């Protein structure tokens, strides 16, 4: 491709709405353009990289027996009602209505559609295991789309679904997937970890996330030297030892206008871990109280698990008043009746603590669980953090940030049971399929590669994903000899099957060099005065900046060696 014919609209300045490097560089290098919030057009250069990731994913999915399909993005609401997710998926599910007033969902994931397919088409254990996958546009109405294609509303995903006659078969394919995913992300040049994760709205119990280490990542991972790694929404927080102090009598303290943990603890002169916050939440019209140590955050994922997978939201002030008799900000467990109370495990060993008094401007001091208030249930509902004990070996967990690029789930029979998807087993009995599902964010992976592989000048593509393998840069288009040499190298390399971009623009050399670094092609061949005199070409490696002079006739073999290694 000649740059003068190519559509590569590079920019010198960072776009003002981009917060992280990959987003800035994808815009500046002319890979993507924003259409509207969280919705992007992939321009030719960007799409070439997407296609490379797709090709790797296809190869690895086919290698483990996956078969490619393509399912619709428009899903009839009935399917989502059958699985029960119409009500629990929440506002991320965009729900268009057609001219007949029929309701639909724009597919954020395809368990319903694929389960509907197999319940109609697969009859016998002989047809199992079955692994279907697709690479397709997904839509999720994310509350906060950001970071370009990392958290978009419309994005490309590879989603795979497996169907099995028994748990052994699922376990085997799950292990194959785990390996395939590791190969995919390694081939993309990524440095990643496999973490124990939360299954969110998808369901199932065993699940792993593939997370690319990056400072800009939204996911917090806690890991231990013993090999344990889990998302902060999943990792056990352990318990703290009970302080050895004696229980003091409970008193009521006047805390005028003090509502937040910070205000109350500052006012009373106690550390925030000496307070229990009482969160009054609502899920499916039921009110529940979560008790969390004041220095901890409530984990949405863990809370959801306690509520049987149902989402929840903070109760409104009038609902809080109805159950506690007091205003918001002063809720507490003392005297609280008629609601489910779930306390974080750590509350069990807390002593002499501050809690809201369910009365405006008052808190109780030196309250003690068991003595002053009863707790129905204990559960792990707080977000884990650095320094918590590893649930495997008790050492202290360390925290780091990452970008989740893929996730795999053992679903079991969650969807096949709710949707009546059955097959005949070896004894001729009807049984629900045992299922797994496996996703990779294709477009997010592209951005994650850039997050890990760039410098202050631009992107550094690993050869496996580069939009072009080689860039030939003619320093001065007004030197006919140089142009001729560049043209002949271009023809030769294209003839030998290399994917080459020839920068034949009549631009200032400085701009051409800047653009070359920005778009990050692994190898740059510079054709200028030096080339004319020496019969050698100047080859520069984007990653290391190393420059070597290569004999013209050795060029293809030198390039092959570099690009394959
Ligand atoms: P997240 O926790 O980041 O919202 P998720 O757990 O909801 O992601 P999955 O349902 O596991 O995502 O989807 C599979 C993959 O799709 C994810 O691992 C991620 O790579 C990608 N993905 C999910 N949401 C988005 C999004 N909004 N934009 C781009 N890619 C996404
Ligand atoms: Mg996920």
- Ligand 1 center–CA 495 separation, angstroms: 40
Give 488-525 pLDDT, tens digit per residue.
999 999 999 999 999 999 999 999 999 999 999 999 99
- Ligand 1 center–CA 46 separation, angstroms: 20
Say what the pTM is.
0.85
Q: Considering only CA atoms, which residue is closest to atom 31 of ligand 1? A: 441
- Picking from 168-177, 239-248, 256-265, 307-316, which range would have the lowest pLDDT averaged per residue? 239-248
Q: Considering only CA atoms, which residue is closest to atom 19 of ligand 1? A: 441
**Do residues 13 and 129 touch, judged by C-beta distance below 8 A?**
no
Say what the pLDDT of residue 189 is.
Answer: 97
Count Cβ atoms within 10 A of the Cβ of residue 379 and give its class: 0-12 exposed, 13-18 middle, 19 or more buried. Answer: middle
157 C-beta closer than 6 A to ligand 1: yes
Say what the pLDDT of residue 199 is.
Answer: 65
Say what the pLDDT of residue 341 is.
Answer: 95
Reported in sequence order, the residue ranges of 215-265 that DSSP labels E, i.e. its strands, are: 219-223, 229-231, 251-254
- Ligand 1 center–CA 118 separation, angstroms: 25
Q: 316: how many CB neighbours lie within 10 A of its CB?
A: 12
Return the ligand number nearest the Cα of 405. Answer: 1
Residue 20 has pLDDT above 70, yes or no: yes
Q: 175: how many CB neighbours lie within 10 A of its CB?
A: 12
**Average per-residue pLDDT for the chain:** 94
| 3-state DSSP assignment of residue 454 | strand
- For a mutational test of ligand 1's pocket, the pick from 138, 151, 404, i.e. the residue with the most ligand atoms closer than 8 A to its C-beta, is 404
Q: What share of the chain in percent tops pLDDT 90? A: 86
- Ligand 2 center–CA 29 separation, angstroms: 29
Task: Return the ∠ at Cα 322 (arms to 317 and 328), rounded to 5°.
Answer: 35
406 C-beta closer than 6 A to ligand 1: yes
142 C-beta closer than 6 A to ligand 1: yes
Average pLDDT over residues 30-51: 98
Q: Which residue is associated with the tokens 């995903």?
A: 157
Count Cβ atoms within 10 A of the Cβ of residue 116 and give its class: 0-12 exposed, 13-18 middle, 19 or more buried. Answer: buried
Say what the pLDDT of residue 200 is.
Answer: 60
Residue 63 has pLDDT above 80, yes or no: yes
Q: Considering only CA atoms, which residue is closest to atom 13 of ligand 1? A: 439
Average pLDDT over residues 55-61: 98
466 C-beta closer than 6 A to ligand 1: no
Tokens (6 digits) for 199:
């299954």
158 C-beta closer than 6 A to ligand 1: no
- Ligand 1 center–CA 77 separation, angstroms: 22
Average pLDDT over residues 13-29: 96
Say what the pLDDT of residue 73 is.
Answer: 98
Say what the pLDDT of residue 19 is.
Answer: 93
Residue 178 has pLDDT above 70, yes or no: yes
- Ligand 2 center–CA 208 separation, angstroms: 9
Q: Which residue is associated with the tokens 């376990």?
A: 171
Q: Among 301, 291, 319, which Cα is nearest to 376's?
A: 291
- Ligand 2 center–CA 244 separation, angstroms: 42
200 C-beta closer than 6 A to ligand 1: yes
Q: Give every CB contact of residue 97 below 8 A, 6+ residues apart in sequence.
A: 103, 104
436 C-beta closer than 6 A to ligand 1: no
Write the DSSP string, 21-81: HHHHHHHHTTSEEEEETTEEEEPHHHHHHHHHHHHHHHHHHHHTT-EE----SEEEHHHHH
Positive or negative torsion for Cα 173, 177, 178, 182: positive
Tokens (6 digits) for 255:
């805390």
Give 121-158 pLDDT, tens digit per residue.
999 999 999 999 999 999 999 999 999 999 999 999 99
- Ligand 2 center–CA 407 separation, angstroms: 5
- Ligand 1 center–CA 282 separation, angstroms: 26
Q: Give every CB contact of residue 284 below 8 A, 6+ residues apart in sequence.
A: 310
Q: Specify the DSSP element, H or E, that contains 174.
A: helix 167-187
- Ligand 1 center–CA 19 separation, angstroms: 19
Of 401 and 243, more confident: 401
Q: Among 447, 486, 472, which Cα is nearest to 539's?
A: 472
Counting atoms of ligand 1 from 1, which one is nearest the CA of 404?
A: 18
**Do residues 526 and 507 touch, judged by C-beta distance below 8 A?**
no
Average pLDDT over residues 36-51: 98
Tokens (6 digits) for 233:
């929404």
199 C-beta closer than 6 A to ligand 1: no
Counting atoms of ligand 1 from 1, which one is nearest the CA of 197?
A: 6
Q: Considering only CA atoms, which residue is closest to atom 18 of ligand 1? A: 406
- For a mutational test of ligand 1's pocket, the pick from 57, 410, 444, i.e. the residue with the most ligand atoms closer than 8 A to its C-beta, is 444
442 C-beta closer than 6 A to ligand 1: no
231 C-beta closer than 6 A to ligand 1: no
Q: Considering only CA atoms, which residue is closest to atom 24 of ligand 1? A: 151
Task: Return the ∠ at Cα 346 (arms to 295 and 324), rounded to 5°.
Answer: 75
Give 194-245 pLDDT, tens digit per residue.
998 876 655 557 899 999 999 999 988 999 888 888 888 888 776 677 778 8
Give 441-496 pLDDT, tens digit per residue.
999 999 999 999 999 999 999 999 999 999 999 999 999 999 999 999 999 999 99
Say what the pLDDT of residue 202 is.
Answer: 55
- For a mutational test of ligand 1's pocket, the pick from 203, 407, 451, i.e. the residue with the most ligand atoms closer than 8 A to its C-beta, is 407
Phi/psi at 521 (5° precision): -60, 135
Residue 25 has pLDDT above 90, yes or no: yes
Say what the pLDDT of residue 234 is.
Answer: 80
Counting atoms of ligand 1 from 1, which one is nearest the CA of 145?
A: 27
Tokens (6 digits) for 394:
């008790």
Give 302-345 pLDDT, tens digit per residue.
998 899 888 899 999 999 999 999 999 999 999 999 899 999 99
């Amino acid at each position: 491709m000649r740059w003068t014919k190519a559509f590569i609209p590079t920019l010198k300045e960072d776009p003002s709405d981009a917060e992280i490097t990959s987003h800035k560089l994808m815009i500046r290098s002319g890979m993507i353009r924003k259409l509207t919030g969280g919705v992007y057009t992939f321009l030719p250069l960007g799409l070439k990289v997407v296609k490379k990731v797709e090709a790797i994913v296809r190869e690895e999915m086919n290698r483990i027996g996956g078969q490619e399909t393509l399912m619709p993005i428009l899903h009839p609401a009935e399917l989502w009602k059958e699985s029960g997710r119409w009500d629990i998926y929440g506002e991320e599910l965009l729900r268009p209505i057609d001219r007949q007033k029929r309701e639909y969902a724009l597919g954020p994931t395809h368990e319903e559609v694929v389960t509907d397919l197999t319940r109609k088409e697969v009859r016998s254990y002989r047809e199992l295991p079955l692994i279907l996958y697709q690479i397709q546009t997904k839509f999720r109405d994310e509350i906060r789309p950001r970071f370009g294609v990392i958290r978009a509303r419309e994005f490309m995903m590879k989603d795979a679904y497996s169907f099995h006659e028994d748990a052994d078969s699922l376990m085997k394919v799950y292990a194959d997937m785990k390996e395939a995913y590791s190969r995919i992300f390694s081939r993309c040049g990524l440095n990643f970890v496999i973490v124990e994760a939360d299954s969110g709205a998808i369901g199932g119990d065993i699940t792993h996330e593939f997370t690319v280490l990056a400072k800009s990542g939204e996911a917090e991972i806690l890991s231990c030297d013993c090999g344990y790694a889990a998302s902060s929404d999943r990792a056990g927080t352990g318990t703290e030892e009970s302080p050895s102090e004696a229980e003091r009598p409970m008193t009521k303290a006047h805390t005028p206008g003090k509502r937040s943990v910070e205000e109350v603890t500052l006012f009373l002169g106690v550390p925030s871990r000496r307070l229990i916050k009482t969160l009054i939440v609502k899920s499916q019209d039921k009110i529940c109280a979560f008790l969390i140590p004041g220095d901890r955050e409530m984990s949405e994922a863990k809370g959801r698990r306690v509520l049987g997978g149902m989402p929840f939201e903070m109760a409104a002030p009038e609902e809080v008043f109805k159950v506690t008799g007091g205003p918001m900000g002063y809720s507490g467990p003392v005297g609280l009746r008629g609601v489910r109370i779930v306390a974080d495990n750590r509350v069990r060993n807390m002593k002499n603590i501050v809690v809201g008094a369910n009365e405006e401007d008052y808190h109780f001091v030196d309250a003690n669980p068991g003595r002053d208030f009863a707790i129905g249930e204990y559960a792990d509902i707080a977000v884990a953090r650095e320094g918590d004990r590893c649930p495997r070996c008790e050492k202290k967990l360390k925290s780091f940030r990452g970008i989740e690029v893929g996730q795999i789930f053992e679903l079991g029979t969650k969807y096949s049971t709710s949707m009546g998807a059955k097959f005949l087993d070896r004894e001729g009995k009807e049984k629900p399929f045992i299922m797994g599902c496996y996703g990779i964010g294709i477009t997010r992976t592209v951005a994650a590669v850039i997050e890990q592989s760039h410098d202050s000048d631009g992107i550094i593509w690993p050869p496996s994903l580069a939009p072009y393998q080689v860039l030939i840069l003619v320093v001065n288009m007004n030197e006919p000899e140089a142009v001729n040499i560049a043209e002949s190298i271009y023809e030769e390399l294209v003839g030998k099957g290399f994917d080459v971009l020839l920068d034949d623009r009549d631009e200032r050399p400085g701009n051409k060099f800047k653009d070359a670094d920005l778009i990050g092609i692994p190898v740059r061949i510079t054709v200028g005065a030096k080339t004319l005199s020496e019969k050698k070409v100047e080859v520069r490696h984007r990653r290391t900046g190393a420059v070597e002079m290569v004999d013209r006739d050795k060029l293809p073999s030198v390039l092959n060696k570099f690009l394959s290694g």
